[in-house]
Amino acid sequence: MCPLLEGSQTRPKGGARRHKLATFFLFLTILNCIGRDDGYSLQSCRITKNSAVCVNIIREKLKAVPHDIPPTVTSLDLHNNHISRINVSDFKDLPVLTVLDLNKNVISAIDGGAFAKLISLEKLNLNNNRLAKLHERVFEGLSRLTVLRVSRNKIKQVDSASLRSLTSLKFLDISYNKLAHITNVHAILQQLPHLQELHVNNNGLTTFQSRYLTNTSVELCYIDLSQNPITAFRITADVFPNLTWFKIGNSNIKQDMVWDVRNKTFLGEVSTLDISGVQMALGDMKTLLETVNSSLTTLRMNGMKHSLSKLIAISCTIPTMSTLQLRDNKLNFIGSDLFGSCVNVIELDLTQNRIKNLHDDAFVSLHRLRILNLSHNKISTVPAATRNLPVLSELDLSTNLITALGCDDFANQTKLRELSLYKNPIPTLNGCLFKDLTHLEVLKLQTCGINKLNGAFKESLANLRQLHLNENKLTAIGSGEFKGLKSLQNLSLHQNEIEALNYQSFIGLTNLTVLLLQQNRLSTKQMGSFNVLTNLRKLDLSVNTINYLNHSAVTEPPFSKLSYLEELNMGSQHHRQSSYLPRNFLSGLNNLLFFNIKDSRLRFLHQDTFMYTPQLQILDIISNSALQIYSELLSPLKNLQQLYISRTKKVLHSLNFLINANLTELRFLQARENEYSIVTEDIIKSLPALVFLDLLGNSLACDCSNGWFVNWTINDKETQVFNAYNFTCSYPPDSQGNRLLDFDFQSCSVDKAFICFVSTTCAVLCFMAASFTYHFMRWHLVYGYYLFLAWLFDTKHKSEETPYQYDAFISYNAYDEPWVVGELLPKLEGEQGWKLCLHHRDFEPGKAIIDNITDTIYGSRKTICVISRRYLESEWCSKEIQVASFRLFDTQKDVLILVFLEEIPSSMLSPYHRMRKLLKRQTYLSWPRAAEHTDLFWEKLRQALRTGEEEVDEEGGLLAMVTKA
């Protein structure tokens, strides 16, 4: 038996440190510029849980396969479009696609290898197209395909290699084509040795002979050859050893079919046989039925033209047959002998005949009958024949002409579990009708015109689980009308005329979980009737006339005891006035998941309305055009996942209320046909879990205010903006009618990439400039720094006229101290009488060194710099000459005297030493050159010290002219 299918280099430490710092800084800069890609918008498709449905929302249907389908989709629905050709490039990027539906297109050509990239495809539907031939490479690459449907095309030919790639195919439906010749079926079976289910019905086949099909056995379990004008059926070899389901027959053919099966064992495994409409001689029919004598369980003989009673007698001799279907056989009367031999039948289907009467003993021999279907006939009363079936569990009398039910109509049918009486003109019921149906679980009484129940359910039907009373004419439900239905779980009362309920209407229904009351005439007066239904899970009150005039709290909330209720539908209330809901209307609904109050003329909802429903996941308030929606109203809904607010355009002009609503779990937002013109970044960022946004039919502005939204719509990879490619502009006037995504927002948006490039480049250049400056010009910077300090000091003391403390400040290096103490000090202080300042002797203890230097230089008439190689290498000596140099430039007085203790090349001098030497090229003093004329050296120095008492000679430079020693 087989199941039926559906179907590294080293660097100096300092350089390495600077390199790491630059790299880290560059990384941070780039990181800050990287944006987040989160969502997408498809031109003609919508995505739901990796399933894509592609239909054009505008009037025109798709004419080609869209190329913007994400590669992660596993199911793609392209049915009901106008695609005429499948190209090689159409499905090249869908590696995980398992289901592809191309039903109802106009496909007439498929390129070779067009499906080759669909390596995971398992189901392909090409029904209702215009294919005329299955060529060699049409299904190339589909090695994992298990289900293929090409029904209702114009296929006339199947190439010998067209199906060879389908090594895993189990199900093939090629019905309603024009194969005509058996060689096409031969080509199918030869290429698909593992095929299990084959539908070739209505293909114009005239013969079916095994020798033209295959020389070896095939694995087929199911074959449908119906609606073919087959005149000869011959099997000369055991080619179908696994066949369990066989369907053959054509009610339109007038010629008898020849049945030639050489061995009765060739179809010995068939368990389901459908010979509806077959034209065959009675002898051949008997031979056919004898072929399946040991295996048949289900026989269908619908629309038979001749010898029905004889066929029934023959078939009922098959001991294994348990299901007999006899639909559409134009039976008017069922006599006592028609089923006399059908003692083993368990299920009998007599639907769609013309039965008016049945003999009381029509089913007397059917002792094992469990299921009886007499629907769609002309029966006027419940047949007495049905009372003689001791084990009957399902009885269908629907769509007949029964006008009344009697107390004994179902007498002794204690085993009955399902009773269908819908679509019979039964205006009233009474209390005795169902008294014996102690095990009945399902009762269908819809569309019977019932206007009164008359206590039919007050005492009986204790095990009933489903009661369908919808589409009747009930106007009121009295007290305790259903109190006998202690096990009832589903009660359908919709599409009646009920306008009266009371607090006891549903008493006793303690196990009721589903109550449907939509499309009645209920008002607020009946809202107190539901609190007795403590186990209720679903309540539908839509399309009634429930209307509250204000949002004041009610004394007794209508659902305060329905703590298990999960779904409440109150949409489309019919009244002319504006409506409200009491602020505590939903009190008690702690587990409510779904609430619908769309199209109810709501004007206002109090901010406390949803504080009682913390678990709510779906809220539908569409088509309430005057309803004000604000963040405080929605903020209690922490678990809300779907929100429908379409068609609220009279008062809702913006989505800004979402910003502070804290809807962090919202995944689906539908806000169609409003007047939103701008969608800001703050709105979208306030919905971090959003995956689907539907703004169809809004008046979006094509200006810079929507620049961010358009960019996000195009580039986002997490949120799908439904049909965004068809959004049109409403503003400004010159852009009306244009597509929003075609508008050029480049001038509106900041080019982040360019900013990142510029900022990164500038940062790197600045860092490199700083590194080079520090390396090559460090002392220039230090010089400038202390020059600035000197300027500050000079500015501070500029107006002060204080006498000099010293005649000269001696700037020297500690290594040159022997010369200063042994030569300079005795001459200048001992012999010439000058008062000198030496740092080791005259600096004020505890005072900052730089302050001592600055104060003593400005407190001395002159500064004598004793320059040597050691001097040039000293940081503090450099500071001293820098301060003195600034004083030289600032006061325009010759206050600086350079004394060189040794010959120093110009290349070794720092910039300020070279500058000073250049300015006083002929007046500086050199001790080595005065070795033989020391007296002259000291005289020159004495004269230089004296010049400070006079103004600077305009022609003599900054120092008094001293002859070069």
Given a contact cutoff of 8 angstroms between Cβ atoms, the answer to whether 655 and 676 are in contact is yes
Q: What is the pLDDT of residue 780?
A: 66
Distance of alpha carbon 433 from the chain centroid: 53
DSSP E strand boundaries for 703-824: 720-721, 729-731, 806-811
Average pLDDT over residues 128-151: 95
Confidence of residue 704 (pLDDT cuts 50, 70, 90): confident
Measured between alpha carbons, how far is 486 from 465 in angstroms, rounded to an integer?
9
For the cut 70, the answer to whether the pLDDT of residue 907 exceeds it is no
Q: Which of 158-172, 280-294, 778-792, 914-928 has the highest mean pLDDT?
A: 158-172
* Residue of 565 and 649 predicted with greater confidence: 565
For the cut 50, the answer to whether the pLDDT of residue 943 exceeds it is yes
Q: What is the pLDDT of residue 7?
A: 46
Measured between alpha carbons, how far is 353 from 347 in angstroms, rounded to an integer?
17
Torsion of CA 18, 19, 21, 22, to 10 degrees: 110
- Lowest pLDDT segment from 109-123, 224-238, 922-936: 922-936
CA atoms within 13 A on the CB side of 321: 25
Distance of alpha carbon 131 from the chain centroid: 35
Confidence of residue 38 (pLDDT cuts 50, 70, 90): very low
For the cut 60, the answer to whether the pLDDT of residue 291 exceeds it is yes
* Residue of 33 and 485 predicted with greater confidence: 485
Q: Is 817 exposed, middle or buried (0-12, 13-18, 19+ CB in 10 A)?
A: middle
Please report, for residues 95, 253, 280, 286, 779, the alpha-carbon distance to residue 256 in angstroms, rounded to integers and kept in the order given: 51, 8, 5, 14, 117
Residue among 402, 410, 408 nearest 428 (CA): 402
- Lowest pLDDT segment from 23-37, 284-298, 613-627: 23-37
573-748 has the same fold as 39-197: yes
Q: In the numeric block, which tokens belong to residue 936?
A: 């002259």
For domain 39-197, give the fold: 3.80.10
Confidence of residue 740 (pLDDT cuts 50, 70, 90): confident
Please report, for residues 440, 466, 515, the alpha-carbon distance to residue 485 in angstroms, rounded to integers and kept in the order given: 11, 10, 14
Q: What is the pLDDT of residue 18?
A: 38
* Beta-carbon contacts of residue 447 (< 8 Å; ≥ 6 apart): 422, 423, 470, 471, 472
Confidence of residue 756 (pLDDT cuts 50, 70, 90): confident
Q: Which of 706-710, 738-742, 922-926 has the highest mean pLDDT?
A: 706-710
- Lowest pLDDT segment from 29-33, 74-78, 585-589, 772-776: 29-33
Given a contact cutoff of 8 angstroms between Cβ atoms, the answer to whether 1 and 244 are in contact is yes
Residue among 922, 926, 946 nearest 934 (CA): 926
Q: Which of 36-45, 341-350, 715-724, 877-886 has the highest mean pLDDT?
A: 341-350
Residue carrying the six token digits 């190689």: 869
β-strands 245-247, 232-235: how paired? unpaired
Given a contact cutoff of 8 angstroms between Cβ atoms, the answer to whether 810 and 901 are in contact is no
Using omega within 30 degrees of 0 as the cis cutoff, is the peptide bond preceding 7 cis?
yes
For the cut 60, the answer to whether the pLDDT of residue 430 exceeds it is yes
Amino acid at 441: E
For the cut 80, the answer to whether the pLDDT of residue 795 exceeds it is no
* Residue of 652 and 762 predicted with greater confidence: 762
Average pLDDT over residues 886-891: 61
Residue carrying the six token digits 């070794």: 908
- The DSSP string of 871-924 is HHH-HHHHHHHHHHHHHHHHH-S--EEEEESS---GGGS-HHHHHHHHHTTTT-
Residue carrying the six token digits 């209407």: 505
b (16+ CB within 10 A) / e for 3-27: eebeeeeeeeeeeeebeeeeeeeee
Given a contact cutoff of 8 angstroms between Cβ atoms, the answer to whether 515 and 540 are in contact is yes
Q: Is 808 exposed, middle or buried (0-12, 13-18, 19+ CB in 10 A)?
A: buried
Q: What is the pLDDT of residue 706?
A: 86
Q: How many residues does the chain have?
A: 965
Q: In the numeric block, which tokens belong to residue 222?
A: 């199911």
In CATH, the architecture of 799-949 is: 3-Layer(aba) Sandwich (3.40)
Q: What is the pLDDT of residue 750?
A: 61
Measured between alpha carbons, how far is 795 from 805 in angstroms, rounded to an integer?
19
Confidence of residue 59 (pLDDT cuts 50, 70, 90): low
Given a contact cutoff of 8 angstroms between Cβ atoms, the answer to whether 411 and 436 are in contact is yes
Average pLDDT over the chain reads 86
Average pLDDT over residues 821-843: 87
Q: What is the pLDDT of residue 962?
A: 32
Beta bridge partners of 77: 53, 101
Considering Cα of 731, then 735, then 736, then 739, what sign does the dihedral take? negative
- Would you tell me which CATH number, out of the four given (3.80.10.10, 3.20.20.140, 3.40.47.10, 3.90.940.20), belongs to the domain 573-748? 3.80.10.10
pTM: 0.74
Confidence of residue 899 (pLDDT cuts 50, 70, 90): confident
For the cut 60, the answer to whether the pLDDT of residue 965 exceeds it is no
Q: What is the pLDDT of residue 770?
A: 87
- Indicate the SS3 state at residue 816: helix
- Lowest pLDDT segment from 444-453, 768-777, 947-956: 947-956
Residue carrying the six token digits 């080079």: 772
Confidence of residue 953 (pLDDT cuts 50, 70, 90): very low
Measured between alpha carbons, how far is 90 from 33 in angstroms, rounded to an integer?
36
Q: What is the pLDDT of residue 925?
A: 82
Helix segments in 635-751, DSSP class H: 681-685, 707-715
pLDDT digit string (tens) for 74-113? 999 999 999 999 999 999 999 999 999 999 999 999 999 9
Distance of alpha carbon 82 from the chain centroid: 27
Q: What is the pLDDT of residue 703?
A: 84
Give, as one character, the DSSP assignment of residue 576. S
Q: What is the pLDDT of residue 163?
A: 93
Considering Cα of 880, then 886, then 890, then 894, what sign does the dihedral take? positive
Cβ atoms within 10 Å of 171's Cβ, excluding its own: 20
For the cut 80, the answer to whether the pLDDT of residue 20 exceeds it is no
Q: What is the pLDDT of residue 494?
A: 97
For the cut 90, the answer to whether the pLDDT of residue 647 exceeds it is no
Confidence of residue 891 (pLDDT cuts 50, 70, 90): low
Average pLDDT over residues 302-326: 93
Q: What's the N-to-C CA distance of the chain in angstroms?
A: 127
3-state secondary structure labels for all residues of 312-371: HHHHCCCCCCCEEECCCCCCCEECCCCCCCCCCCCEEECCCCCCCEECCCCCCCCCCCCE
Q: In the numeric block, which tokens belong to residue 791?
A: 């300027």
Domain ranges in the chain are: 39-197, 573-748, 799-949
For the cut 50, the answer to whether the pLDDT of residue 960 exceeds it is no
For the cut 90, the answer to whether the pLDDT of residue 246 exceeds it is yes
Measured between alpha carbons, how far is 84 from 344 in angstroms, rounded to an integer?
53
